[in-house]
């Protein structure tokens, strides 16, 4: 069965899209640690990041780099944390999280509850 992220990429499940090309898709995490928390996913469905072929893995980092620059520009954060967990969804993905302090990337923290309007506004800013 297709992963939830493949279904998002296919448009079967809605998402707040930030960017897309022929190989990768970026969208806002629905349970964000901070405004701008974005997931970068390869369209190719592979569970473990380091099982991706070298070309896809390298391309994914370059794709994430562009999104990270936009997150930094729009949030004014010190740096964008790049985190790979993958314990919940078995489809490789990179978390890009605006960060000013190491506590900003504590996944045990309570997640933000944003309205659709807030998600739309962030996605719109990050898509430029």
Contact set with ligand 5GP (CB under 6 A): 4, 13, 15, 27-31, 39, 85-89
15 vs 56 by CB, closer to ligand 5GP: 15
**Options 37, 91, 93, 95, the catalytic residue:** 93
| H-helix segments, 1-128 | 4-9, 54-75, 116-126
Distance in Å from the first CA to the final CA of the chain: 33
32 vs 77 by CB, closer to ligand 5GP: 32
Strands ordered across the beta sheet of 17-20: 17-20, 24-28, 38-42, 94-99, 79-83
Show the CA angle centred on residue 90, arms to residues 85 and 19, nearest 5°.
75
Closest approach, Cβ 109 to ligand 5GP, in A, equals: 12
Dist. CA 78–CA 57, nearest whole Å: 25
Closest approach, Cβ 117 to ligand 5GP, in A, equals: 16
Closest approach, Cβ 27 to ligand 5GP, in A, equals: 6
Residue 27 near residue 8, CB atoms below 8 Å: yes
Q: What are phi and psi of 17, to 5 degrees?
A: -75, 140
12 vs 21 by CB, closer to ligand 5GP: 12
18 vs 77 by CB, closer to ligand 5GP: 18
Active site residue 93: yes
Closest approach, Cβ 51 to ligand 5GP, in A, equals: 15
Residues designated as active site: 93
């Amino acid at each position: 069965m297709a992963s939830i992220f493949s279904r998002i990429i296919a448009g079967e499940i809605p998402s707040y899209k930030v960017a897309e090309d022929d190989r990768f898709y970026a969208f806002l995490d629905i349970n964000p640690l901070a405004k701008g928390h974005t997931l970068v996913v390869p369209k190719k469905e592979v569970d473990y990041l380091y099982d991706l072929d070298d070309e896809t893995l390298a391309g994914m980092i370059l794709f994430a780099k562009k999104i990270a620059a936009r997150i930094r520009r729009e949030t004014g954060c010190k740096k964008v944390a790049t985190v790979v967990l993958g314990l919940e969804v078995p489809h490789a993905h990179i978390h890009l999280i605006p960060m000013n302090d190491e506590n900003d990337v504590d996944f045990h923290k309570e997640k933000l509850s944003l309205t659709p309007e807030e998600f739309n506004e962030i996605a719109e800013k990050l898509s430029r």
